[in-house]
Amino acid sequence: MAGLAACSAPTGSGGGGGGGGAADSVVIGVASEPDTLSPLLGYGKDGNSKIFDGLLARDANLKLKPALAKALPEVDDKGLTYTYTLRDGVKFSDGEPLTAADVVFTYRTILDKKTNNPSRSELDAIKEVRAEGDDKVVFTLKYPYAPFAARTVLPIVPEHVAGKQDPNTGSFNTKPVGTGPYVLTGWSKGEKLTFKANPHYWGGEPKVKKLTMAIVPDDDVRATRLRSGDLDGAVLPPNLAATFKNDKDKKTYRAKSYDVRTVTLPTAHKVTGDRAIRRALDAAVDRRAMVDKILDGAGRPAYGPLPVDDPWYTKDIERSQDLARARRILDDAGWKPGADGIRVKDGRRASFTLLYPSGDKVRQDHALAYASDAKKAGIEVRAESATWEVIEPRMKNDAVLAGFGSVGDPDFGLYTLLHSSLAGNGFNNMARYDDPAVDRALDTGRRSQDQATRRTAYATVQRALVANPGYTFLTHLDHVYVLADRWDGLTTQLEPHEHGFASGPWWNAETWRPKK
């Protein structure tokens, strides 16, 4: 699941270099690693890859800016043609020049159904992509797609390397060649990835010469290694980050995010497939308590997939814990309390398993709090930790404490989360949610350029998730990072679910400057 590594990438324990204090070398502790480093399979699709660039990129405020393209695209009056002119003099890290043919190859390969890219549906609007000479690329769309330009942050790969391989199994997946500020020098699976500065980078050679991403799945171990100086920085849960507040040599960074913690409620399960159970769980959960106690205030209650401060958020869906309503819903649906307090209907107990990834303390705490709230309504939730290798084949029938969230446009996160055409497609629509009204609204939101029409469509989606929840949305997290205070130029962005490896204060590490 390349595009959502922080949610799904299976990892082992392991080390990764040492801190050491040199300002031109950084060792970062992250929770997980990508499945692949090939954009053809989904890596870096939302930008911020250190190895690759897209036609466009995002600045600190998420505003689109030129990257491999000289300027933002020229768009025709009907919104069906986007033309990009490439920047002069860009070379791949092997010295070969970037051309329009590389851009065409990248998009055509991703759109090929033989390529195992889980995010292909995000490029559904593309009818054709073609080169005009060596420096112009023209996209023709099937329908006007309002946020299309934001999709072109997708990284570009060299045809002269990747084109000679099977995109699904070739060595490019672990030995990539790109135009980005860093070059991969080594990847010890489950342990670390090391990068060196690309001296030929079109944006100027980075001052940070060596970048190491140490894969440390366990939150406590990551904090311990940061404290010992083995790491220069790390992504940490809020409670662990707070233990560094009196350390004068370290600085804490807090980024707001679209990253939502949610419980998938598979329709195939005899209990979670019951709409009354799902509605009761939605009413029983105490979101505010989770923010206050689990996140130490570093987040917001989640009433749906979009954060409460998102401009597309529908403000009439906020709801607080209501155990009386939860019990009433279950009573009306025939779920009656058993001798032990757990509800029973037609001889079946209101009981199910909730899986969460091992070593993720924040998800564990969410799972336990969710189980506690559910029990008050008479539903038994058995929280169980497991690796992603164990969780993935069980997702069809078992609930999962999952994470999702994309920045940029509501289509980016909602379509893959909810559209029935993607049910069970890898980590897309994990709950196998199927609501025809939601499908219609998602299609309308994707295909319309009219803001009012799109706003109505996404309001329909959000309200439908209250009436017919396929997930129990719990919290939107702030991402918290602690770093040695040795550099200038560190900032954070509004972040997607995927964080740590690509997002974080190091999203712009190529522009950092050592402190004098």
Residue whose structure tokens are 């807090």 = 254
Query: pLDDT tens track of the chain, all 516 residues?
Result: 333 333 333 333 333 345 555 779 999 999 889 989 999 999 998 888 999 999 999 998 889 999 999 999 999 989 999 999 999 999 999 999 999 999 999 999 999 999 999 888 889 999 999 999 999 999 999 999 989 999 999 999 999 999 999 999 999 999 999 999 999 999 999 999 999 999 889 999 999 999 999 999 888 999 999 999 999 999 998 889 999 999 999 999 999 999 999 999 999 999 999 999 999 999 999 999 999 999 999 999 999 999 999 999 999 999 999 999 999 999 999 999 999 999 999 999 999 999 999 988 899 999 999 999 999 999 999 999 999 999 999 999 999 999 999 888 999 889 999 999 999 888 899 999 999 999 999 999 999 888 999 999 999 999 999 999 999 999 999 999 999 999 999 999 888 887 677 788 898 999 999 988
CA 63 to chain CA centroid, Å, is 18
**What pLDDT is attached to residue 11?**
32
CA distance 126 to 112: 12
Buried b (16+ CB within 10 A) or exposed e, 289-323: ebbeebbbebbbbbbbbbbeebebbbeebeeebbb
Q: Which CATH number fits domain 1-33+189-253+483-516: 3.50.30.50, 3.40.190.10, 3.30.830.10, 3.30.470.20?
A: 3.40.190.10
CA distance 371 to 382: 7
Tell the burial category of 125 from Cβ atoms under 10 Å away from its Cβ (0-12, 13-18, 19+).
buried
List, as own/partner pairs, every contact residues 243-246 make where C-beta atoms lie below 8 angstroms and the sequence separation is at least 24, other chains included. Answer: 244/482
**What pLDDT is attached to residue 100?**
98
CA distance 130 to 89: 21
**Helix or strand (DSSP H, E) at 352:** strand 351-357
CA distance 226 to 156: 34
CA distance 312 to 127: 28
**What pLDDT is attached to residue 497?**
84
Is the CB of residue 28 less than 8 Å from the CB of residue 212? Answer: yes
Closest CA to 290 of 373, 369, 229: 369
**What pLDDT is attached to residue 60?**
87
Architecture of domain 260-477: Roll (3.10)
Torsion sign, CA atoms 469, 470, 474, 476: negative
Q: Residue 20, by phi and psi: left (phi above 0), alpha (psi -120 to 50) or beta?
A: left
Q: Can you give the residue ranges of every domain in the chain?
A: 1-33+189-253+483-516, 260-477
Is the CB of residue 500 less than 8 Å from the CB of residue 235? Answer: yes
Strands of 182-305 (E only): list them.
182-188, 192-197, 210-215, 233-236, 250-255, 260-264, 299-301
**What pLDDT is attached to residue 21?**
58
Is the CB of residue 503 less than 8 Å from the CB of residue 13? Answer: no
| 126 three-class SS | strand
Tell the burial category of 76 from Cβ atoms under 10 Å away from its Cβ (0-12, 13-18, 19+).
exposed
Is the CB of residue 351 less than 8 Å from the CB of residue 380? Answer: yes
Dihedral angle of Cα 98, 102, 107, 113, to the nearest 10 degrees: -150
Buried b (16+ CB within 10 A) or exposed e, 344-372: bbeeebbebbbbbbbbbbbbbbbbbbbbe
Closest CA to 100 of 77, 72, 129, 127: 129
pTM of the model: 0.85
Tell the burial category of 333 from Cβ atoms under 10 Å away from its Cβ (0-12, 13-18, 19+).
middle
**What pLDDT is attached to residue 340?**
95
Is the CB of residue 487 less than 8 Å from the CB of residue 207? Answer: no
CA distance 256 to 481: 12
Residue whose structure tokens are 């980024």 = 255
Closest CA to 16 of 1, 5, 6, 26: 26
| Count of CB atoms situated within 10 Å of the CB of 62 | 13
